[in-house]
Chains A and B, each alone.
Chain A
């Protein structure tokens, strides 16, 4: 994904003359900023890119809120499950969050960031289930494995 800061600039008169050319530029390369009367306050961009920018902005707000909460040492409203992570997991989450956020801003791939939040929420919630934690810590003994047959659903 290209940033709006990597756009091309076109005078409105040139845009009128070569409309098809400039629309193809937008479709296949980058957003185009329109200059009219010395002002460059309008942009043409693909709808899909605009949606990506909106999504990234939503996540940026969330990360900013979380960092502010951390600085103020208050319970996180951005990520209410954060408090359930162990101390070492909280440190790992912070590092993972910042790395993935940086990647998202560079590449526009917000899906990986969404996975990160989903995964860490599940990791945090697992700490609320002592039975699960005990089960995960139990050693693997292949001789105790029991084959799982495909369940039959009666109609």
Chain B
């Protein structure tokens, strides 16, 4: 049984997740496994980054692959992971 329940914040987040899943199903599965068990831990492979500024504190980024990212927040008391956004990483 998973330690955390995972939900999409809304349909837009779900759409982004589904688009990534079509490109990289295995990567999305690994992401789901990480989020359901250890969402607040540092990924040993460097796949997670924790936003630092006051305005974005609590947001965590998960690298699905070179192009795609999943952004989520965690409600520890409710054991709930909320996927806020999923989509390609902007280039600069």
List residues of A whose CB falls within 8 A of some B CB: 81, 84-86, 88-89, 92-93, 96, 115-116, 118-123, 125-126, 128-129, 131-132, 135-136, 138, 140-141, 144-148, 150-154
Q: Which of A88, A120, A145 has the most CB of B within 10 A?
A: A145
Contact of B7 with A145 in the complex, beta carbons under 8 Å: yes
Contact of B84 with A136 in the complex, beta carbons under 8 Å: yes
Determine the residue in chain A with the shortest Cβ distance to B7: A145
Q: What interface size band does chain B fall in?
A: 35 or more
Question: Are A145 and B85 CB-contacts (below 8 A) given A92-B54, A116-B52, A151-B25?
Answer: no
Q: How far is the CB of B39 from chain A (nearest CB, A)?
A: 12
Q: How far is the CA of A147 from the CA of B83 in the complex (A)?
A: 10
List residues of B whose CB falls within 8 A of some A CB: 5-14, 17, 21, 25-26, 28-29, 32-33, 36, 42, 46, 49-56, 59, 61, 71, 82-85, 87, 89-90, 92
Neighbour of A147 across the interface among B5, B55, B85, B87, CB < 8 A: B5
Instruction: State the total of A-B contacts with C-beta under 8 angstroms.
Output: 107
Q: How far is the CA of A152 from the CA of B52 in the complex (A)?
A: 33
Contact of B29 with A150 in the complex, beta carbons under 8 Å: yes
Identify 23 residue pairs between A and B in the complex whose beta-carbon atoms are under 8 Å apart, listed by A's number: A93-B53, A96-B52, A115-B42, A116-B52, A119-B49, A123-B52, A125-B90, A125-B92, A126-B51, A126-B56, A126-B61, A126-B71, A128-B90, A131-B85, A132-B71, A135-B71, A136-B59, A136-B85, A146-B7, A146-B11, A147-B6, A153-B25, A153-B26
Contact of A88 with B12 in the complex, beta carbons under 8 Å: no
- For B6, list chain A residues within 8 Å (CB): 147-148
- For A115, list chain B residues within 8 Å (CB): 42, 50
Determine the residue in chain A with the shortest Cβ distance to B78: A142
- For A119, list chain B residues within 8 Å (CB): 49-52
Neighbour of A135 across the interface among B5, B52, B55, B84, CB < 8 A: B84
Instruction: Give 15 new A-B contacts, CB below 8 A, not counting A132-B87, A145-B9.
Output: A85-B53, A88-B54, A115-B42, A123-B51, A126-B59, A129-B87, A129-B90, A132-B85, A135-B84, A136-B71, A136-B85, A144-B10, A144-B11, A151-B21, A152-B25
